[in-house]
Amino acid sequence: MICESSEYAHRIQPNAFLLPDELVNAPIKCSELPATNLYEWLDRNFCVVDQRVINMGKNRRITPCVTCTCTAEGPECHSITIERCEELFEDYLLNEIKKDTVCVIQCARAIHEYEKRAESRRRK
C-alpha cells in the first residue's frame, strides 16, 4: 500500500509495521513486493468457497460430502454424514465423489462396488 500510494517510496521493508532490520526485515524494492489484494478486506454479505458464492446465513453443498454455511466470521464447512452412499451416485459423478476424501472415507465399499458394476457393464 505504501509503495502504491507514494511516488517517493522505492524501497520498503516487507513488514512495514516493524522497523527495518538488515537480517529479518531488510528493505526491498517495491517492485519485488507481492501485489496487494484488498478483496479479503471487503465488507460483504456473502462468502466464497471454492469459487462458489454462499449468501450470508445460507448453506451450500460444496462437494458431495461437505456443506458450508456463510457466517459473519466467514464460511464454516462441515462433513456430511452419508446414510446411504448409493444415493450419492444418483446426484454426483463418480470422479466428483472420489475427489472428496470425506466421501471416500465413508463410502469406500460403495465406491468399489459401483466401479465393479460399471466395469462389468463395459465388458458386455
- Mean model confidence pLDDT for the chain: 89
Looking from the CA of 18 toward its CB, the CA atoms found within 13 Å total 11
Domain extents in the chain: 1-36, 44-79, 85-123
Predicted pLDDT of residue 40: 66
pLDDT: which is higher, 113 or 118: 113
Task: State what percent of residues in the chain have pLDDT above 90.
Answer: 57
Helix residue ranges per DSSP H, 1-123: 2-5, 88-91, 94-99, 101-123
Confirm if 1 and 17 have CB atoms less than 8 A apart.
no
What does each C-alpha distance from 3 to 13, 14, 42, 97 come to in angstroms? Answer: 11, 11, 21, 46
Is 0.75 surpassed by the pTM of this model?
A: no
Q: How confident is the model at residue 9 (pLDDT cuts 50, 70, 90)?
A: confident
**15-67: per-residue pLDDT in tens?**
888 888 888 888 888 888 877 777 667 777 999 999 999 999 999 999 999 99
Q: What is the largest CA-CA distance in the chain?
A: 74
